[in-house]
Chain A
Amino acid sequence: MRTKNKLPKLLLLFILITHFSFAQTDIDAIMMPKHNFCGGLMYGQSNWKNYWEGTFKRDNQNLGTVTTSMVNIMGNYGVTDKLNLLFGVPYIQTKASAGTLAGQRGIQDLSLTAKYMPIETNLGIGTFSLYTIGSVSTPLSNYVADFLPLSIGLRSSTATGRLMIDYQVHQWFATVSAAYIARKNISIDRTAYYTNQMHYSNEVSMPDATNINVRMGYRTSHLIAEAVFDQFTTQGGFDIRKNDMPFPSNKMNAKRIGANVKYTFHKKLSGLSAIANGNYVFDGRNVGQSFVIMAGAFYQMDWTKKKKVDSKK
């Protein structure tokens, strides 16, 4: 749906073993009005103690709790009321509370998204809208992918195509979307590695992935509160063997539930909004059972050339 003064909401799209990847408002049914820009910062932390080696769930005293901290700079610009462009740049730091392995830190992947709403119409007692979303991401630094679970990312450039529908009745809404994520092969520092066979190459074939996201809740111009279900499924890849190290091309699957709240301030603080969200992996494969909390603040500016309009009057 389209609302005035809407700030982008943020969603943690993938939490694989440790790494965050953000797509901010690309996955919700909120559009930035024409010539409005909204920018802000999110801070988040993910923690996990248990993880899945294939389907075997375990902890690891040589890692203790793996913590990933993240700061994400994000923005959303309304080209028109029906077309938004979004970007995000996260800085990520990882740490294990036990064992000897060194945590990693650095700038992760730039993401760019175009979000288009071709249909918004009254339907029955509510409003129906349809969205098509295209997104690309690519690493911004030469970080190490092949040091899981402490790598800050997988280094794979991705392209995501998503179809999303939203239905709102009064203040109550439901949004459902499905995405296909194409992932480009990556290069690692080794020139040979074992998956379920030896590979004599420094290139790793990365399996693609799919995502399903369902969200329901309450939405007004000042408050949004919603529950989220998210399922990330790797199409291919292989399982971590018992007591082996994880690898970027593992079959990483995760089912998560979470909640988001966004409050938009009025009057003197108009344009400012605050966001908090949390989510938890309740089922997974070759990923950490992460619990994530995030908070952030955003400011929306109207870049319409008002003065010019005024002088014409």
Chain B
Amino acid sequence: MKKTIIFLLAATTIIAACKKDITERNLLFSALNPAKTDSLAGTWKTLLLTAPNEFALAAPGATNVPAYAREINEIKSFQAALTNEQRSRIAYWSAGAVLRWNEIMRTLVARHNLAPYQNEDGTYPAPNANNPFAYPQFPFSNPPFAARAYAYVSAAQYDALVAAYHYKKLYNRPSPYIVDATLEVLVPKTTLAAYPSEDGVIEGVTVEMLKLLFPTEGAYIRAMAEEEKLCRIMSGANVRSDIEAGEFLGRLVAAKFTAKAAGDRAGVAIGNPIIWAQIEADCKARGETAWMSLDMPKRPPMLPLFGNVKSFLIDSLTQVANRPVPPPLTSSEKFRTELAEVKKYADNATRENIRIVHFWADGTGTYTPPGHWNAIAAEEFVQQNFSEVRWARNFSLLNITMMDAAIACWDAKYFYFNQRPCQADPSIKTLTGIPNFPAYVSGHSTFSAAAATYLSHVIPARADAFNAMAKEASDSRMFGAIHYRSDCEKGLELGSKVAESAIARARIDGAE
């Protein structure tokens, strides 16, 4: 008995003494130290810029003049009194600005991925971009919104960096530690020209894009931006004029992308009650059971006109050609078989299936499936030692292809307006939240196949792993009892088709 008591006391002490800290994978990333500098990236094909020098950037001042020496002195004055906290933030940002701003994006998406709470009368308020602070705050960063947001930010970063690399090559201003060999540098050195700074240009372009996409987050975004710029100066990587030139250039490039965003039809994707009724009537006219919101109170369908959003790469004809064949008719044997299969998964969930469902759920309050694929890509890219511009290029095409997946998938969803399994059979209980949009085709499957197909092009050695992840993400929706097999299989097919456009672009953009 005494042993038992001692055991209990010991166990108490051990649990009470347990460290609460957790190890976060993204804080273990080491400093960016690219295998190749990609110094000729100024010649890569831009997405919206007509040419890398569409926006003029003045030549930097000389490095052998007192003004430059004063900039070096600024670095030295910071370095004379660096705190541990500052060193830790320098290390954080040194992993790469594209990476860190992508993480910040994922944070913003997760923070805003909350469906509005109903009004007293059972209707729902909608977020309003012109009054973003009123409840529900703008945006509701659901998967289509998020896919588009990731795409715009990544695409703008890419064009801005191509412009920056053009001017780097043109002006060829050395890094401060090359000018002054006595200067300490806290990040890996590079032979790449310093003006304009990659970090400055990424910060400049990203802040402008995020102001548009997450207008209530200005204070947080600004704080991160100021920290990033300061960290680069304190680290000795850049003098202030390198950073400021980059920021200036980035802001100009952002204007091209905010202008496109204003006219890409996403702003009207929510539709209106007349359009919602018409979509339902069209489905019924075909003799099919129309999708119905399973939220209570019933919620308007999520972004029914998102299928009309203008893509970066895919024209509307190609999009119609990509549209999947119709789902199994409600009256068909195939439909009954698929419904029974979903019911089987719902009623016989194994612990492993539940793990898969939850791992890929990416629902309310998360960074969404496109965010999950950004996280997957980031952890892969870290191991590839890409340059900043290559990070941006790979993320831009990844996110453009996932935005295209959202467009194509939402087009199919509202073209067919197909019911969810638990609408057809209310005895089916789900292992994750039921999304508020039609079933066919599965968004997770489309996003995942698009991402996996494109990433397999970027890192061919990992193709099997990427495709296995996409298949598991797709299966997770069947295991979770919220999708039929056809939704998943046709979603995977659609996603791979969509990604062909991004791969075609990757072959000719000059980076390969």
Chain A positions near chain B (C-beta within 8 angstroms): 58, 61-62, 79, 83, 85, 98-103, 112-114, 134-136, 142, 144, 146-147, 157-161, 180, 182-185, 188-194, 197-201, 203-206, 241-245
- Size of the chain B interface, CB-CB below 8 angstroms: 57
Nearest-CB distance from B205 to chain A (Å)?
Answer: 22
Stretch from B10-18, B325-333, B403-411, B490-498 at the A interface: B10-18
- Would you call A100 and B429 a contact (CB within 8 A)? yes
Q: Write the nearest CB–CB distance from A210 to chain B, whole angstroms.
A: 13
Q: Is B116 an interface position by the 8 A CB rule?
A: yes
Q: Quick check: A200 and B375 within 8 Å, CB to CB?
A: yes
Tell me if A194 and B15 are in contact (CB < 8 A). no
- Within 8 Å by CB of B117, from A102, A157, A184, A243, lies A243
**Which residue in chain A gives the minimum CB-CB distance to B429?**
A102
Contact B15 A157 (CB under 8 A): yes
**A242 CA to B294 CA in the complex, in Å?**
19
Q: 8 closest A-B pairs (Cβ-Cβ)? A: A102-B429, A159-B15, A61-B296, A194-B110, A182-B16, A189-B358, A159-B12, A203-B22
Residue in chain A with minimal CB distance to B294: A100
Contacts A101-B430, A103-B429, A136-B15 given; indicate if A241 touches B365 (C-beta within 8 A).
yes
Residue of B nearest to A103 (CB): B429
Max chain A CB contacts within 10 Å: which of B9, B12, B295, B375?
A: B12
Given contacts A134-B8, A159-B12, A189-B359, contact A198 B23 (CB under 8 A): no
Nearest B residue (CB) for A204:
B22
CB distance from A231 to the nearest CB of B (A): 21
Output the least CB separation between A222 and chain B (Å). Answer: 30
What are 28 pairs between A and B in contact, CB < 8 Å?
A61-B296, A62-B296, A100-B294, A100-B430, A102-B346, A112-B8, A113-B8, A114-B8, A135-B8, A136-B11, A146-B358, A147-B358, A159-B14, A185-B18, A185-B20, A189-B358, A192-B367, A194-B367, A200-B27, A200-B375, A201-B25, A205-B22, A241-B114, A242-B135, A243-B117, A243-B364, A245-B363, A245-B364
Distance (whole angstroms) from the CB of B138 to the closest CB of chain A: 15
B389 to chain A, nearest CB (A): 25
Indicate whether A136 sits within 8 Å of B422 (C-beta atoms), given known contacts A194-B367, A205-B20: no
Contacts of B433 in A (CB 8 A): 101, 245
Question: In B1-59, which residues have CB < 8 Å from any A CB?
Answer: 1, 4-5, 8-9, 11-16, 18, 20-27
A256 CA to B361 CA in the complex, in Å?
Answer: 35
Chain A: minimal CB distance from B246 (Å)? 26
CB distance from B294 to the nearest CB of A (A): 6
Q: Does B115 contact A (CB under 8 A)?
A: yes
* B16: chain A residues within 8 A (beta carbon): 159, 161, 180, 182
CA distance A183 to B18 in the complex (A): 8
**B106 within 8 A of partner (CB):** yes
- From the candidates A157, A198, A245, name the one contacting B107 in the complex (CB within 8 A): A198
CB of A201 within 8 A of CB of B22, answer: yes
List chain B residues, Cβ under 8 A from A159.
Answer: 11-16
Are B5 and A194 in contact, with the CB atoms below 8 A?
no
Query: In the bound complex, how far is the Cα of B11 from the Cα of A112, in angstroms?
Result: 11
Chain A residues closer than 8 Å to B323, beta-carbon distance? none
User: Chain A nearest CB: distance from B370 CB in Å?
Assistant: 13
* Chain A residues, CB < 8 A from B361: 190
- Docked Cα-Cα span, A194 to B368, in Å, equals 11
In the complex the two chains form, what is the Cα distance from A201 to B375 in whole Å? 12
The CA of A134 and the CA of B8, in the complex, are separated in Å by: 7
**Contacting residues, chain A, for B428 (C-beta < 8 A):** 100
Interface centre among A85, A136, A193 (most CB of B within 10 A): A136
CB of B15 within 8 A of CB of A184, answer: yes
Contact (A182, B18) CB under 8 Å given A114-B8, A189-B359, A244-B364: yes
> B434-456 toward A: CB 8 Å interface, digit per residue (1/0)?
10000000000000000000000
**Most chain-A Cβ atoms within 10 A of its Cβ — which of B13, B21, B24, B367?**
B24
With A83-B5, A142-B351 given, can you name 17 additional A-B contacts, CB distance below 8 Å?
A: A61-B296, A79-B1, A98-B296, A100-B429, A101-B429, A102-B481, A136-B8, A144-B358, A190-B359, A192-B366, A193-B366, A199-B24, A200-B26, A200-B27, A201-B24, A243-B116, A244-B364
